[in-house]
Each structure stands twice: as C-alpha cells, then as structure tokens.
Amino acid sequence: MLAPTQMIIENYSRKIFIYFLYAIAFTLPLVRPNWYGILLGVFVVSWMFTQKPSEFFPEIRNHKIIFLFWGVFFVDLVGLLYTENMSYGISYLATKAPLVILPLIVLSSSSQLSTHVIRNTCVAFVAGVITLNLASLAFISYDLWDPERLEANLIIANNSIVKIHPVFLSQFIAFGFFFIVDTYFPLSKTNRNQLGWVLFSCIVLLVYLMWLNSRIGIAGFVLASIFYILYAIRKNHRFSAFAGLTIFIFLLLFIPFSRERFIVTPLQVLTHPYAVDVANYNTRTLYFREDIYSCCIALVNGPRFFYGYGTGDFKDVLQDCYAGKNYTSLLERNLDSHCEYFAQLHRNGIIGLLAFLALLLVPFYYSLRYYSPVLGVFMILFGVTALFENIMSSQKGVTFFSLFCPLLLLYARSTGQHKPLDLSKLQ
C-alpha cells in the first residue's frame, strides 16, 4: 500500500508545483514586489516536495549553464567583501536572489517541464500582461482619447495596480507578442476560437505598446522584430512582415502624442538643451542622460576598472560624482546609472561586466544553435533594456530574466533537437 500512496503523493506534488509555476508567471506583471516575494517563497516550498536527491544532481550536471547564473551572483557576493555600504549591498543581493533560485528550480525540474508545460507558462504570463493592460482601462477611461494625458495617466494607472516601470511593462508586452506570433502563426481559419483570441491578444499588446510610448521599449521591439523577420520568417513572407513593421513605425511617428515623444522632444533636447523643462518627463529623461553617462565614464578609471567599487557602493559613488560636478537635479532625484553595463562595471569592474555579457551572449548563441527565434528575441529585448536601465536592480527585471531564460533554454533544447548553428536563415 505504501508504494501506490507514495506515487499518488508524488503526482499531486508535481501537479501543485506546475500550477504554482503557472501562477508565478501569470502574477509577475500583476502583483506588487513584496507580495510577489511571498508567492515565490511558496513556489520554492512546492518545488522542494518534488525533489529527489538521486535525480537532483544529475539534472544539474546536465544543465551546466546554471553555473553561469550562479557565477554572476557570486561575483556580486565577492563584491560585498570590499563594500562600505553593507546594508544596500545586502538589499541588492536579496533583490537579485531569483537569479540563483529560479534557474535552479527550472533546470533541476527539466524532466517535469515538457514543452507543453513551458508553453502554458508563457501563455499564463501573456494572460497576466493582458489582464494588467485591460485592468488599467478602468483608471484611464475618462481620458482614453486625450493624447496629451494618456501616456502619463496610463503609467499612473499601472502604478496604482502594481508598481512597475513602463520600460519593464513594454518589455513584457513585446515578449508576449513575439511568443504569440512564434507559437500560433500561421493561423488556421478553421479554428475560429484560436483565431479570435490570438488576433485579440496581438491587437491589445500592440496598442498598449504604443500607448505606453516607451522609447526604450519601442527600440527593443523594433530590433527584435528585425531579427525575428530575418531569422524565423520564410523569404516569401518577409516582405509582408517588413511591411507590417513599417506600418507600425509609420503610425508611431505620425500619431501626434507619439511623434512628440519620438521626434519633437529629442530634437528639442539636442538643439536647445538649456531651454529644456526638467519638470517634463518627456524631456528630462533625455536631458539628464548626458550628465549621468559623463559621471559613469569618469568612474571607470585606474584599478577600479578591474574590480569596481563594491556591490553596495556603486550607486553611492555615482551620487558623489553628481555632487562633485554640481549636478543638483540628478543628486536630488538619487538617479542611478540608467545602464546595466555601466552598473556592472561600477559594482565589480571588468570581471562583473564580462560575467553579465556571458549571461546574455551564451543563451543568444543557443537560440541560434537550436534555431529558437523566441529565445533570441527574449535576449535582444533584455539586452536593449539593459542599455538604458539598471535592470538587475529591479525585482521585476531580475525575476523576468531568471524565470523565462532557463525556461526558454529548455524549450529550445527540446524542440531544436541539437541542430548545428545555421546562420543561412539570415540570408
């Protein structure tokens, strides 16, 4: 009687683990960071009930890329040894903890994560993104057609539901769109239910991507689109795909409120920098970056280039630079480097930067090796966002990467059948 009972318990444990996986994917865009941390803790407990020591270590050895995730975290752990602001360093490591925990959970459970489960996890995430977008309509319905107020109030609405930066939400939306395209296109006209939901989802995602109007999000989406069209779409369909991308960019540049953000504002900052209104969100984000990056470059010198300033001090030294150069506005707002690559240099020097680049480039290599365009798109979106935001200092950014990068690696490995690297598809 013990063996059948044990089997039943194991089966239910696996089902509970899978359901929690769907839950954390669905709630990632929807739940505030402090609540989401509790949910992650419950997810870890559900995973522990599914593990067997005899299966755990072979699974880990079979997925050596996990040591790349751990290596990035280990570099920050070493950087804690020579930091002065220990409290901030520990807080940063706590934020970055999913980089260690989630890849371990996903890769050690690869035997339970079939392509069907991974696909459903991505569907749950996309459903969460769409739910957040639609829920925000309740907060902006009074000015839905007021272009001058729409973007600002949409951001306020999202912050009322869950504290999320528009850049991260744009990244979520873009990934959701490419996953739908990669999974369900070309559409079957005979399957009316799937046809309706897929088209509805794509329209909602693209409309909200334009409404959010994140310059970084749009740039990542365009670059990822070019890669996807060249690598994943057959030559006879590429013209239609590029035509659709062209129409998207045309609308983006000629809709009044969008044109203001993408053309008028950058030209104003470049031609009349001293007349910029720093109270205006559209202009100040561009205006401040020149001063921010000048300090970022100034801090990369001498021995600090090799080992950095420490895990807890990288932001403090930036504030000291602002004070030394009399950048009062930057100092008052306590702004970070707005570039993860600079942040890695400041934390742990060239060693930290190389570890982070390896974390981006190795999965991208696997996306080409296994012919997995959706993994390649994911890495491009994350890499572009990291150019303009400290993405590893945000729980939403770290969790998004730590969960979906190993999941998509498993998906590429299981569906790609270890195909040799083939760049001929780009021709």
Residue among 280, 155, 143 at smallest CA distance from 214: 155
Which residue has 């194991």 as its token pair? 10
Quickly state the pLDDT bin for 426 (edges 50, 70, 90): very low
- Which DSSP category does 422 fall into? -
Q: Does position 35 have pLDDT exceeding 60, yes or no?
A: yes
Q: How far apart are the first and last CA of the chain?
A: 61
pTM for this structure? 0.91
pLDDT tens digits, residue range 215-264? 899 999 999 999 999 999 988 889 999 999 999 999 888 887 777 778 87
Quickly state the pLDDT bin for 66 (edges 50, 70, 90): very high
- Gap between the Cα atoms of 7 and 342, Å rounded: 51
- Gap between the Cα atoms of 75 and 41, Å rounded: 24
Mean pLDDT of 27-53: 88
Mean pLDDT of 368-396: 94
- Say what the pLDDT of residue 361 is: 96
Cβ atoms of 371 and 416 closer than 8 Å? yes
Residue among 388, 30, 42 at smallest CA distance from 216: 388
Give the Å distances, CA to CA, from 419 to 27, 281, 371, 374.
Answer: 34, 47, 7, 16
Cβ atoms of 339 and 296 closer than 8 Å? yes
- Say what the pLDDT of residue 427 is: 44
- Say what the pLDDT of residue 418 is: 47
Residue among 70, 52, 67, 68 at smallest CA distance from 13: 52
Q: What is the dihedral of CA 94, 380, 199, 180, to 10 degrees?
A: -70
Quickly state the pLDDT bin for 17 (edges 50, 70, 90): very high
pLDDT tens digits, residue range 290-310? 889 999 999 998 888 999 999
Alpha helices in 185-214 (DSSP H): 192-212
Mean pLDDT score of the chain, rounded to an integer?
86
- CB-neighbour burial class of residue 64 (10 A; exposed 0-12, middle 13-18, buried 19+): exposed
Mean pLDDT of 343-369: 95
- Say what the pLDDT of residue 420 is: 47
Q: Does position 124 have pLDDT exceeding 90, yes or no?
A: yes
Mean pLDDT of 90-118: 92
Please give the backbone phi and psi of residue 337, each rounded to the nearest 5 degrees, phi first: -75, -15
Cβ atoms of 98 and 396 closer than 8 Å? no
- Say what the pLDDT of residue 78 is: 93
